[in-house]
């Protein structure tokens, strides 16, 4: 503090001055920009339209786009402070190479040459599939498309997956099994048009706040929320079903049982558009309200009431997020949800949809652009026709295209541990905080021969372990498109320059392609993301995710365009919902009704570990806090992790609100959590948010994965709670 300030002579009048901005009105003078740049929020997949205010080349403010069809000008706390994320001290600025145990600054030329040399060493010794790649949902679609081609045709490895497997892979697998393709069928306006909205394991008031506002715009709805916690969303529901952890699948099957028994199903729709009804009916015969009551802890009357409410809905909407996805039974639960919608004809109509609410801003883009669980444009690895069509567009021999997907995220980690993968390239993700069972992951990463982290932030707990750090531009610093949860493709625009020598991921990929010697073949003449977009349009043409009628200009003008939008399309409303014609992406055009079976979660409580740990998110932070942890207002709002415990359990353990606690499982311990004694969790359960590296919930979670999607079972494991010892 200066002497003038200490004496009260410096009131910092300039810093706290207000002025009138023609757009924002009366506001802090420091936030008034020279120009506004239109873009899309880079946090969650709601995909809010916004403007970045730029002054003297620096982002100084943001505001919601009042004309945007998604958010109508509103933004949540993360969006409102997004410009601050660009300036945090932990941005990655320069390429760094590990020498003598230290990361030292090197030139881009050195960085690229070293990566190519080390990757070549590995592939020459162990074969191309000794290289693995873990990507993200944070890049623009043009970058995902470029990366997919580079990895699988350039580097020649199939072992490429993304952190979307930690979040939405279950929805993808569920859609593919039920409908023959990935792709959320509904639209946000369904939240406003449904008369019954059923949210399962989805706390949208915290995690997708603008969708909550869309829901509030529907005063006539009945909102049912199934969640073991009394989340913010559950508090606002007409009916909260406080199910026991991971009993959602039993609940949905119980509802199907009641709907069939009471003939509240749409026989015409089932006959015309589905297969498998008899097997499904047989599979739920034992799911009586009494049996389901035992599993879920809900009274039979409540299960019955829920089923009848949904069964009688004019338009029923079912939304879900991680409460469903983060489970070894996740894919089957998605199939059960789809069964419920199909049996009642609640799909492809206004207000009626089963609908996965995606996590990251462009998790959808990576799913479309493919190369992880499918070929680009939702093509199938195993389909020769799909491979040939793609090869023809790319002018490469069809046998260059893999005939089966490579390893999924957890299996890549297993392969590293087994020394089958020797070099790993991690892009815009932070597995040291986000992957379950931290001890095993750390052991795997430490065994690598070469480990590259490409990220907009450094240091992160993951980049700290890298041999090479490539600094990348982030939201606000690059161009491209994101796809949101309702399949709306929106434009992302560069407003400012990246810090230091950071470069867009797109440019990094092209430089690597040049160094690997495949740029001219795979990316001829490409210099900007729009070149990737134009090729991607041709690759997507005729597919469910058809972009061929889009242009950057039209996307900007319309506030985003939902796919499919084929060449010649003029009205995006025509394809607002998938499957409006009742034709699905299966061989016979019919949706599959798939029998599913509830099972208890893999690690039940024991005498030593008597609580079920639930993990989740909070509105102020984003994933592992690389983006939000240094944003002052967000950090002040939620500076530390906590543990929620029911008062009855706290009394039994003689714990008081002022105490700090450790949560302990067979695998590890999270220390020194703030204790919140609250009835929002039931007795026998505890909750910890998963964002904090210092209080990493994944020190205690387990290595258990959904067999179809390979998504981790983050939501339930057995723990005990102890008072922290100093
Ligand atoms: S709801 Fe999601 S997209 Fe909208 S402002 Fe918040 S974080 Fe951004």
- pLDDT tens for each residue of 131-179: 999 999 999 999 999 999 999 999 999 999 998 889 889 999 999 999 9
pLDDT digit string (tens) for 188-239? Answer: 999 999 999 999 999 999 889 999 999 999 999 999 999 999 999 999 999 9
**Ligand 1: centre distance to CA 314 (Å):** 30
**Distances 517 to 113, 116, 471, 506, 520 between C-alpha atoms, Å:** 12, 10, 22, 16, 8
**Ligand 1: centre distance to CA 44 (Å):** 5
Ligand 1 atom nearest to 80, measured from its CA: 5
pLDDT digit string (tens) for 458-474? Answer: 999 999 999 999 999 99
Chain centroid to CA 230: how far? 23
Residue 550's pLDDT band (cuts 50, 70, 90): very high
**How many Å apart are CA 211 and CA 419, to the nearest integer?**
44
Query: For residue 189, which of 581, 667, 577 has the smallest C-alpha distance?
Result: 577
What pLDDT does residue 572 have? 72
Share of the chain residues as helix, strand and coil, in percent rounded to the nearest 5? 35, 20, 45
Asked if 75 contacts 61 with a C-beta cutoff of 8 angstroms, the reply is no
**How many Å apart are CA 515 and CA 511, to the nearest integer?**
6
- Least confident among 334-343, 357-366, 412-421, 527-536: 357-366
What is the token pair recorded at 542? Answer: 């005729």
Average pLDDT over residues 700-721: 93
Asked if 213 contacts 49 with a C-beta cutoff of 8 angstroms, the reply is no
**Does ligand 1 come within 6 angstroms of the Cβ of 224?**
no
**Does ligand 1 come within 6 angstroms of the Cβ of 43?**
yes
What pLDDT does residue 359 have? 85
Query: For residue 505, which of 467, 460, 537, 475 has the smallest C-alpha distance?
Result: 475
What pLDDT does residue 1 have? 65
**Does ligand 1 come within 6 angstroms of the Cβ of 75?**
yes
**How many Å apart are CA 249 and CA 253, to the nearest integer?**
6
What pLDDT does residue 290 have? 97
What pLDDT does residue 406 have? 95
Question: Can you list the alpha helix ranges (DSSP code H) found in 523-678?
Answer: 529-540, 552-558, 632-637, 647-652
Residues 6+ apart with CB under 8 A from 55: 32, 33, 34
**Does ligand 1 come within 6 angstroms of the Cβ of 621?**
no
Is the pLDDT at 29 greater than 70? The verdict is yes
The preferred substitution site among 41, 188, 620 for testing ligand 1, maximizing ligand atoms within 8 Å of CB, is 41
Ligand 1 atom nearest to 44, measured from its CA: 2
Q: Tokens 């079920």 sit at which residue?
A: 612
Ligand 1 atom nearest to 77, measured from its CA: 6
Average pLDDT over residues 588-613: 96
- 292-325: burial string, b at 16+ Cβ within 10 Å, e else: bbebbebebebbbbbbebbbebebbbbbbbbbbb
**How many Å apart are CA 610 and CA 455, to the nearest integer?**
39
**How many Å apart are CA 691 and CA 10, to the nearest integer?**
39
Q: Whose CA is nearest to atom 6 of ligand 1?
A: 76
Average pLDDT over residues 552-575: 89
**How many Å apart are CA 351 and CA 153, to the nearest integer?**
42
Residue 12's pLDDT band (cuts 50, 70, 90): confident
DSSP annotation string for 72-128: TT---HHHHTHHHHTT-TTB--S-EEEETTEEEE--HHHHHHHHHHHHHHHHHHH-G
**Does ligand 1 come within 6 angstroms of the Cβ of 211?**
no
Q: Whose CA is nearest to atom 2 of ligand 1?
A: 44
Residue 681's pLDDT band (cuts 50, 70, 90): very high
**Does ligand 1 come within 6 angstroms of the Cβ of 48?**
yes
Is the pLDDT at 68 greater than 90? The verdict is yes
Average pLDDT over residues 296-307: 98
Q: Whose CA is nearest to atom 4 of ligand 1?
A: 48
Is the pLDDT at 24 greater than 80? The verdict is no
SS3 for 67? Answer: coil
Is the pLDDT at 658 greater than 90? The verdict is no
pLDDT digit string (tens) for 262-293? Answer: 999 999 999 999 999 999 999 999 999 999 99
SS3 for 452? Answer: strand
DSSP annotation string for 621-644: --TTSTTTTT-HHHHHHS-S-EEE
Is the pLDDT at 602 greater than 80? The verdict is yes
**Does ligand 1 come within 6 angstroms of the Cβ of 41?**
yes
Q: Tokens 């690997």 sit at which residue?
A: 516
Query: For residue 295, which of 240, 234, 253 has the smallest C-alpha distance?
Result: 253
Average pLDDT over residues 484-512: 97
What is the token pair recorded at 239? Answer: 């009916």
Asked if 434 contacts 441 with a C-beta cutoff of 8 angstroms, the reply is no
**Ligand 1: centre distance to CA 76 (Å):** 6
**Does ligand 1 come within 6 angstroms of the Cβ of 641?**
no
Degrees, nearest 5: CA angle 567-568-574: 100
Beta-carbon-side half-sphere exposure of residue 64 (alpha carbons within 13 Å) = 19
Share of the chain above pLDDT 90, in %: 84
**Ligand 1: centre distance to CA 80 (Å):** 9
> Mean of the per-residue pLDDT values for the chain?
94
């Amino acid at each position: 503090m200066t002497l003038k300030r200490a004496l009260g002579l410096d009131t910092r009048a300039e810093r706290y001055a207000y002025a009138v901005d023609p757009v924002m009105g009366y506001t802090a003078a420091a936030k008034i920009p020279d120009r506004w740049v239109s873009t899309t929020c880079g946090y969650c997949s709601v995909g809010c339209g916004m403007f970045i205010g730029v002054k003297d080349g620096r982002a100084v403010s943001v505001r919601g786009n009042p004309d945007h069809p998604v958010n109508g000008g509103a933004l949540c706390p993360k969006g409102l402070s997004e410009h601050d994320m660009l300036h945090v001290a932990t941005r990655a600025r320069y390429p760094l190479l590990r020498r003598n145990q230290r990361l030292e600054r090197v030139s881009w030329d050195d960085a690229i040459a070293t990566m190519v040399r080390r990757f070549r060493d590995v592939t020459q010794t162990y074969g191309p599939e000794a290289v693995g790649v873990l990507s993200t949902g944070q890049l623009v679609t043009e970058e995902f498309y470029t990366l997919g081609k580079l990895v699988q045709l350039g580097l020649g490895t199939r072992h490429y997956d993304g952190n979307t497997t930690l979040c939405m892979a279950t929805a993808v697998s569920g859609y593919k099994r039920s409908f023959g393709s990935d792709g959320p069928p509904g639209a946000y306006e369904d939240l406003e048009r449904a008369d019954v909205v059923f949210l399962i394991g989805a706390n949208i008031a915290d995690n997708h706040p603008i969708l909550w506002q869309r829901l509030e715009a529907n005063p006539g709805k009945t909102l049912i929320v199934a969640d073991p916690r009394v989340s913010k969303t559950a508090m606002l529901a007409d009916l909260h079903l406080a199910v026991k952890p991971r009993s959602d699948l039993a609940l949905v099957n119980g509802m199907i049982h009641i709907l069939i028994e009471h003939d509240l199903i749409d026989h015409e729709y089932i006959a015309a558009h589905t297969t498998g009804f008899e097997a499904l009916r047989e599979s739920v015969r034992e799911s009586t309200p009494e049996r389901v009551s035992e599993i879920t802890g809900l009274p039979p009357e409540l299960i019955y009431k829920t089923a009848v409410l949904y069964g009688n809905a004019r338009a029923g909407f079912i939304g879900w997020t991680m409460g469903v996805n983060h489970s070894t039974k996740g894919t089957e639960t998605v199939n059960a949800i789809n069964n419920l919608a199909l049996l009642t004809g609640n799909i492809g109509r206004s207000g009626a949809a089963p609908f996965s609410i995606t996590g990251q801003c462009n998790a959808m883009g990576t799913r479309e652009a493919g190369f992880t669980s499918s070929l680009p444009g939702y093509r199938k690895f195993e389909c020769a026709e799909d491979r040939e069509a793609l090869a023809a567009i790319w002018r490469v021999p069809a046998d260059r295209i893999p005939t089966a997907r490579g390893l999924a995220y957890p299996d890549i980690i297993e392969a590293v541990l087994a020394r089958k993968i020797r070099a790993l390239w991690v892009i815009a993700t932070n597995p040291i905080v986000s992957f379950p069972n931290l001890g095993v992951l750390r052991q795997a990463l430490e065994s690598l021969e070469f480990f590259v982290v490409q990220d907009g932030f450094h240091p992160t707990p993951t980049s700290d372990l890298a041999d090479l750090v490539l600094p990348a531009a982030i939201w606000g610093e690059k161009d491209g498109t994101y796809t949101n949860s309702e399949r709306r493709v929106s434009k992302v625009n560069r407003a400012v320059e990246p810090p230091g020598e950071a470069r867009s991921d797109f440019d990094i990929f092209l430089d690597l392609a040049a160094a690997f010697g495949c740029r001219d073949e795979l990316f001829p003449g490409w210099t900007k993301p729009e070149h990737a977009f134009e090729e991607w349009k041709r690759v997507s043409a005729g597919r469910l995710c058809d972009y061929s009628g889009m242009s950057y200009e039209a996307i900007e003008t319309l506030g985003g365009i939902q796919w499919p939008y084929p060449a010649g399309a003029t009205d995006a409303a025509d394809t607002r919902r998938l499957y409006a014609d009742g034709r699905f992406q299966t061989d016979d055009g019919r949706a599959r009704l798939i029998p599913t079976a509830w099972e208890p979660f893999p690690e039940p409580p024991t005498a030593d570990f008597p609580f079920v740990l639930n993990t989740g998110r909070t509105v102020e932070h984003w994933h592992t806090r690389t983006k939000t942890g240094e944003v002052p207002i967000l950090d002040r709002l939620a500076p530390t992790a906590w543990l929620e415990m029911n008062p009855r359990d706290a009394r039994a353990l003689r714990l008081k609100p002022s105490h700090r606690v450790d949560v302990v499982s067979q695998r590890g311990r999270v220390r020194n959590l703030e204790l919140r004694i609250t009835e929002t969790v039931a007795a026998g359960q505890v909750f910890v948010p998963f964002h904090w590296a210092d209080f990493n919930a994944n020190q205690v979670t387990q290595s258990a994965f959904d067999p179809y999607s390979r998504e981790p079972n983050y939501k339930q494991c057995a723990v005990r709670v102890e008072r922290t010892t100093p």
